[in-house]
Amino acid sequence: MNVGVTPLELQASPDSMLPRQAVIQAIRPEACGVATFSLALTDPAEAAAYRFLPGQFNMLYLPGFGEVAISVSSDPGEPRVLGHTVRYAGNVTRAMGRLKVGDFVGLRGPYGSHWPLGNGSGRNLVIVAGGIGLAPLRPVILAILRNRDAYGRVVFLYGARTPPDLLYTSEFGWWRERGIEVYVTVDRADETWRGRVGVVPQLFYLIRMEHKNTLVLTCGPEIMMRFVIYEALARRIPKEAIYISMERNMKCAVGFCGHCQFGPNFICKQGPVLNFAAIEPFFGKEDF
């Protein structure tokens, strides 16, 4: 039967489910139960060819345990070493917690959509993250810092449940020096905390926003993102200028397993970064 596929084409098709071998170069503890694994592909040709864009993710694999989708959290300008900030939460990630430098993990990717940075174009950015939702946004900040003059005002709003849950805090000073406005809050303070207390969307009240030529990029719990969108819309930022990064169960990352569907979107293909205007009818719909 004519299916329009010749055997030759079929042979040329690479097996998208096969992991590449990568070695752990460093493990940096970030927060309570969270660490960044710096990975390098062991095949020199594969390592040299690998590129990713901020917001994209890899599938990390541990033989016998399984695979997990993890955003690349490192500098897209340094694609030889790929940072993956992992929370020890499930079967695979807990097993990763027992690995050490020099051990191997499987890696395939990068997959998914990316944050719409373009080449900056003088745009203002409001980057809003909650908890480990900062991991896929860190490459955005690092990309901006490489090319700071191409952007307008850059505001970074960040929060976590408690102070020890905040990620990458040692870098915030450097980010500030390079012209990024950093505002941090926690849901619950401890005795060491001298900063703000409250939920992330409230940080919008600290900044006076120019609504023109401004993009809002947000990643965190869906409930947080809902209120971030609410605050952004209240400041007359158009729906089309709001981007969110979503999480769903994922088994294949190439659109075959069906697990990550969100209405018409596969989070692995159209996502994880989605434009709010495109998903508004479904976003926040109960159990959707």
CB of residue 26 to another protein, shortest distance in Å: 19
Point out which span in 76-84, 87-95, 163-171, 193-201 binds another protein (CB under 8 A).
Answer: 87-95
2 binds another protein (CB under 8 A): yes
Q: CB–CB of 74/57 below 8 Å?
A: no
Burial of 194 (0-12, 13-18, 19+ CB in 10 A): exposed
- Phi, psi angle pair for 20, to nearest 5°: -95, 155
Q: Which of 33, 97, 106, 164 binds another protein (CB under 8 A)?
A: 106
64 binds another protein (CB under 8 A): yes
CA distance 246 to 288: 13
* Cα dihedral value 31, 33, 36, 37, nearest 10: 160
45 binds another protein (CB under 8 A): no
Beta strands in the chain (DSSP E): 20-31, 34-41, 57-62, 66-71, 82-87, 104-111, 124-130, 154-160, 181-186, 196-197, 214-219, 242-245, 261-262, 265-266, 273-275
- Binding pattern for the stretch 223-262 against another protein, x by CB under 8 A and - elsewhere: ------------------------xxx-xx-xxxxxx-x-
13 binds another protein (CB under 8 A): yes
Q: Which amino acid is at 32?
A: C
264 binds another protein (CB under 8 A): yes
CB of residue 146 to another protein, shortest distance in Å: 29
CB of residue 285 to another protein, shortest distance in Å: 6
10 binds another protein (CB under 8 A): yes
Q: What share of the chain is helix, strand, coil (3-state, %, to 5)?
A: 25, 30, 45
CB of residue 13 to another protein, shortest distance in Å: 5
CB of residue 196 to another protein, shortest distance in Å: 25
CB nearer another protein, residue 95 or residue 207: 95
Residue 63, C-beta contacts closer than 8 angstroms, at least 6 positions apart: 106
Q: Which residues bind another protein (CB under 8 A)?
A: 1-3, 5-7, 10, 13-19, 21, 42, 63-67, 87, 89-90, 104, 106, 247-249, 251-252, 254-259, 261, 263-264, 266, 269, 281-282, 285-288
